[in-house]
Amino acid sequence: MRTTYVLLAAALLPACNGGGGDTTAGSSAGTGITGVTGQGLTTTDAASDTGSAGPTTDGTGGASESDSETPTTGVSPTSTSTTGEPTTATTTDATSTSTTTTTATTEQTSTTGVVEEKCPCPDLEVPLDDGIFVLSKTAQLWKYFPQTHDFELLGPADCGLAPSTFSMGVDREGFAWVQYSDMKLRKIDVTDTSQCSDPGFVPMQNGIENFGMAFVSNSADDKCDRIYGNHYNGVANGDMVSEFFSVDPDTLLVVPQGLSDYGLAEVTGTGDGRAFLFAGPDPSSLVEVDKATGATLEVTPLPGVKTGGGFAFAFFGGDFYFFTDKESDSTSEVTHLDYDDSDNNGVQDLKVVVEDAPLRIVGAGVSTCAPLIPQ
């Protein structure tokens, strides 16, 4: 494991104290937001967020990222067996273990001899490759544009459930997979948030309650993706304290991958097959993990980044964006990490780029169609 220290390029400014619920522009009925900047709002006709207020501490419905947490030093889960991805075969004898992994190809040859790409990115009215999808605590789907730091309201999720959400991942087909605080998982069309369906995922598999989640490509060559998750069990950190797993895309069964060292963490993935955790609470860290085992590969400290009343993150264009409600005032801050050192100054600069977003963000998702390098 290698530790990289980060220069805090700009002081993190406290968010203004707000009301109890998510903050949106145009509070009157029939007014919503089409574009929101870090400094102001531009409105047209749409619905405003009338969801529930600030963080709760009742502890019901599983562990919520917007709830106040008292980190504990926990004991590792009793099960330490590890099952690889469906394409991984493991053989064990008395003295050693060997693993052979076979990676599927992303291309196939048609009957005409033309090579066709598997899992292609669709051309949608709401593009998958120009921004980060973010989820409010009150089940509104928004989009954040890293180049301009604008927010766009896509609409409320119409899933017939209590509007209290926990986490989200976005797939290559244009669907946001949203986990609610009651552990139910729903699939929402990013082009029409009123279209919500139950994909058939059964909660509490292997005793896993709420979890951080993201879609991750199988590899740099195999762009097909699947959900990876990390059990949000209330244990801040320790040696192999939380279940790290994937979800079979066909059966939606939980596939144990191994154990991570963080039980208060969100997950994000990349189009080249890497998986990362945003681990809290304070001090928080960016952690690259081996997605086949959950083992820590690299830790990058995030000085000054406090998770607060809700947190999420995503990878876009070579960098990371962290969404945190450090003041627990229902408005998130956005912090940018220049992970690839695109300005070539030799430092992975960490800087607050939005002080008060128009919502409290508890989930962020980037399709694996999103760019891996700056655009």
Contacts of 373 (CB under 8 A, 6+ apart): 317, 318, 340
Q: What is the pLDDT of residue 56?
A: 37
Report how far residue 12's alpha carbon sits from residue 1's, in angstroms, rounded to the nearest whole number: 28
Span 43-96, pLDDT tens digits? 334 333 444 333 333 333 333 443 434 444 444 444 444 444 444 434 444 333
Q: Is the pLDDT of residue 128 over 50?
A: yes
Q: Is residue 101 one of the residues assigned to a domain?
A: no
Which residue in this structure is represented by tokens 């600069």? 349
* Strand partners for 351: 336
Instruction: Give residue-wise pLDDT tens across range 93-124.
Output: 433 333 333 444 444 444 556 667 889 999 99
Question: Model confidence at 36, in pLDDT bands (50, 70, 90)?
Answer: very low
**CATH code where residue 223 lies:** 2.120.10
Find the length of the chain: 375
88 in any annotated domain: no
Does residue 311 form part of some domain? yes
Average pLDDT over residues 212-219: 97
What is the tens place of the pLDDT at every residue in 155-196? Answer: 999 999 999 999 999 999 999 999 999 999 999 999 999 999
245-263: b (≥16 Cβ within 10 Å) or e: bbbeeeeeebbbbbbbbbb
What pLDDT was estimated at residue 112? 59
Cβ-Cβ contacts under 8 Å for 148 (sequence gap 6 or more) = 37
Under DSSP, the state recorded for 163 is: S
Q: What is the pLDDT of residue 283?
A: 84
Contact between residue 66 and residue 55 where contact means Cβ atoms under 8 Å apart? yes
User: What is the model's pLDDT at position 22?
Assistant: 53
Question: Does residue 141 form part of some domain?
Answer: yes
Give me the chain's average pLDDT, please: 79
Instruction: Give percent of the chain with pLDDT exceeding 90.
Output: 66
Measured distance CA(210)–CA(264) in Å, rounded: 11
What pLDDT was estimated at residue 111?
56
Over 60: is that where the pLDDT of 24 sits?
A: no
How many CB atoms lie under 10 A from the CB of residue 155?
17
Considering the domain boundaries, does residue 166 fall inside one?
yes
As for how many domains the chain has, the answer is: 1
> What is the average per-residue pLDDT within 338-344?
93
On whether the CB atoms of residues 318 and 372 are closer than 8 A, the answer is: yes
| DSSP H/E element including 350 | strand 350-354
- How many angstroms separate the most distant Cα atoms in the chain? 70
Residue 367: CB atoms within 10 A of its CB come to 27
What is the structure's pLDDT at 282?
82
Q: By C-alpha distance, which of 132, 125, 179 is closest to 157?
A: 179
Integer Cα distance of 165 and 183 in angstroms: 9
Residue 90 in any domain: the answer is no
pLDDT grade, residue 281 (50/70/90)? confident
In a domain, 206, yes or no: yes
For 62, 185, 205, the CA distances from 198, given in Å and listed in that order, are: 19, 7, 16
pLDDT tens readout for residues 5-21: 433 333 333 333 333 44
Q: Residue 144 sits in which domain range? A: 2-50+116-365
pLDDT the model gives residue 115: 65
Residue 39 pLDDT exceeds 80: no
pLDDT tens per residue across span 288-317: 999 999 999 999 999 999 999 999 999 999
Q: Is 261 inside any structural domain?
A: yes
Query: Coil, strand or helix: which one is 207?
Result: helix
What b/e string do you get for 310-322 counting C-beta neighbours within 10 Å, with b at 16 or more? bbbbbbbbbbbbb
